[in-house]
Amino acid sequence: MKLSKQTIRTMWVIAVLPIFYSCNDKALNTINENVVSTTDYFKTSDELLAGTNSIYATVRNISLVSREWFFLHDLRSDDAAAGGSQLEVPRFQILSGNTDPTNSVMNSVWNGLYTVIHRANTVIQNGPNVTDNTAVRDRVVAEAKFLRAWAYFELVTFWGAVPLYTSPVKTPADYQARADVNAVYTLIVEDLRQAATTLPNKSATDKGRATNGAANALLGRVLMQRNDYAGAKEALLKVTTSGAYTLTDRYLDNFEEETEFNAESIFEVVYVDKGDNDFNWGGNDTPNSAQSTIRNQEYNPVAWRNLIPSDKLLNEFENTATGAAKTDPRYSFSFYQTGDRYNNDADVLTDADQNGNSSTVNGVRKKVSVRKFMILYKEGKAKASYHPGGNNQRIIRYAEVLINLAECEAELGNLTAAVNYLNQVRARKSVAMPAYPTSQYPTSTKAQVIKAVMHEKMVEHSFECIRSIDILRWRPKGYFTQEPFAYFRSQRDELLPLPIAELDNNPLVSGKQNPGY
């Protein structure tokens, strides 16, 4: 068939016309069919639970408990010294008092804590809209409040007056100025009180979730920091009277993988070893990323050995060589030194295994390294050198509650009660140190009991990220005969500088740096 030009023309126009009409505005309203938008989520208890789980995931991440958080605490305490020149620059700068607002370790912790707060605020804000399972809803909102309180307490400890966000940010201009320190503490205490009344007991939850015991123990910590010893005592007594917790006979159970979630553990951050050497270095949230902690690499005597115990810490332990009735067994539970056995007692640690600096313990030069949370106890050198592992980081354990009660009683003038609490800790089966008073630690005055409390806390809880908080409480009271930081400058080194990214991007914080920086 031969078509005329005119016919072809007509046919073409007919063919084209539908294209004009089919392409109306609807084609432009593309839908992202891969995701759910923020307005369509957190409507059910399952979704709210997922929201709370993501807060824990941030706590667990590299910016916080699996790396930078324990570094920041240890570097801001007198527990730690540099393992050697392998300690990275920003870490050494904190340790030597040269922190500046660009410090990457400090910035990571700040970012991580505020991510916890954003995610917690999201759950807390959306909670009232969820009605399908109020029991789960109330529990996960209470967990979010516990974690928000933990994050704000960390922030106020390191930086003082920080921006206070109590609901998720809605627009790019929802800036918050630095809140008064009292306002930050008010929110922390409020959150913890609510969490304590709502959260279940330890046995009733998934292992790793916050409990009322965890909320009360943390509340005790927080109120002590506010000098509210009566309030702290009240909260801490709820932990001891609950009957849910006891000291483990074996001190090392608190730092080993097989004895996670033991009777002494009140709150711990959970890690899993997938049998490889992977660690989530990027810190991105991905469903199947590594869930290990790098602590076993950072401090391990045969691996990087970035931080080691300070001489001050090592010499704090009671020793027969310096006149004590008994050498404190917690010394060898807390540290590895040359000649110690590891790898299920199959290997002996040598000087050559331990890179870097030596320590002086009671006048003797030797190589000493951190033992707590290392999994070297069951691994050979070759594996331990590169194996992050899945040992849970214990955040709060029962021994701390007892020592904190001792401090509260001492501050409230009940010296006998205080000494009794301390002696419970010393009577642990594997420790069995002579009860106070001892010749080195008499307990007839408040000052003497406080000295015993400070000693007991340091040797019981070294490298557990508690000392840095204690220093802030004890320094203004004049309890230290010698300032813990050699570099300390008053009106500066009490706090860290606010991160540069916050100063640069939050106009309400810009120009309001902490003093001295």
Applying CB under 8 A, does 37 fall inside the site for another protein?
Answer: yes
Region for residue 134 given its phi and psi (left: phi exceeds 0; alpha: psi -120 to 50; beta: otherwise): alpha
Applying CB under 8 A, does 104 fall inside the site for another protein?
Answer: yes
Pattern 427-466, binding to another protein, x per CB under 8 A?
----------------------------------------
30/482 with CB nearer another protein? 30
Token code pair at residue 131: 């009605």
190/276 with CB nearer another protein? 276
242/289 with CB nearer another protein? 289
Q: 307: how many CB neighbours lie within 10 A of its CB?
A: 24
Q: How far is the CB of 75 from another protein (least distance, A)?
A: 12
Applying CB under 8 A, does 136 fall inside the site for another protein?
Answer: no
Rounded to a whole number of angstroms, the distance between the first and last alpha carbons of the chain is: 90
Cα dihedral 13, 16, 20, 22 sign: positive
Please list every residue from 48 through 67 that binds another protein, using CB under 8 A.
50-58, 60
Q: Which of 183, 364, 501, 512 binds another protein (CB under 8 A)?
A: 501
Q: How far is the CB of 117 from another protein (least distance, A)?
A: 6
42/70 with CB nearer another protein? 42
Please list every residue from 267 through 326 that binds another protein, using CB under 8 A.
270-272, 274-277, 285-289, 291, 302-305
Q: How far is the CB of 135 from another protein (least distance, A)?
A: 18
Applying CB under 8 A, does 38 fall inside the site for another protein?
Answer: yes
Applying CB under 8 A, does 207 fall inside the site for another protein?
Answer: yes
Amino acid at 299: Y
Applying CB under 8 A, does 118 fall inside the site for another protein?
Answer: yes
Q: Which of 321, 427, 490, 517 binds another protein (CB under 8 A)?
A: 517
Q: Which of 130, 144, 147, 162 binds another protein (CB under 8 A)?
A: 162
Cα distances (Å, whole numbers) of residue 273 to 81, 270, 285, 385: 28, 10, 17, 15
Token code pair at residue 268: 């711990």
Token code pair at residue 460: 């019981």
Phi, psi of 22 (to 5 degrees): -75, -25
Closest of 269, 266, 234 to residue 399, by C-alpha? 266
215/418 with CB nearer another protein? 215
Applying CB under 8 A, does 98 fall inside the site for another protein?
Answer: yes
The b/e string for 179-196 (b: 16+ C-beta within 10 A; e otherwise) is beeeebbebbbebbbbbb
54/319 with CB nearer another protein? 54
Applying CB under 8 A, does 139 fall inside the site for another protein?
Answer: no
Write the CB contacts of 80 (distance below 8 Å, at least 6 apart in sequence): 74, 95, 307, 308, 309, 310, 313, 463
Site residue total, another protein (CB under 8 A)? 115
SS3 21: helix
Q: Which residue in the block uniquely carries the two structure tokens 């933990």?
A: 150
Q: 166: how many CB neighbours lie within 10 A of its CB?
A: 16
Q: How far is the CB of 426 from another protein (least distance, A)?
A: 31
Please list every residue from 359 through 388 that binds another protein, using CB under 8 A.
385-386
242/513 with CB nearer another protein? 513
95/418 with CB nearer another protein? 95
98/445 with CB nearer another protein? 98
User: C-alpha dihedral over 139, 145, 147, 148, to 10 degrees?
Assistant: 160
Token code pair at residue 251: 């001190």
Q: How far is the CB of 419 from another protein (least distance, A)?
A: 37
Region for residue 396 given its phi and psi (left: phi exceeds 0; alpha: psi -120 to 50; beta: otherwise): beta
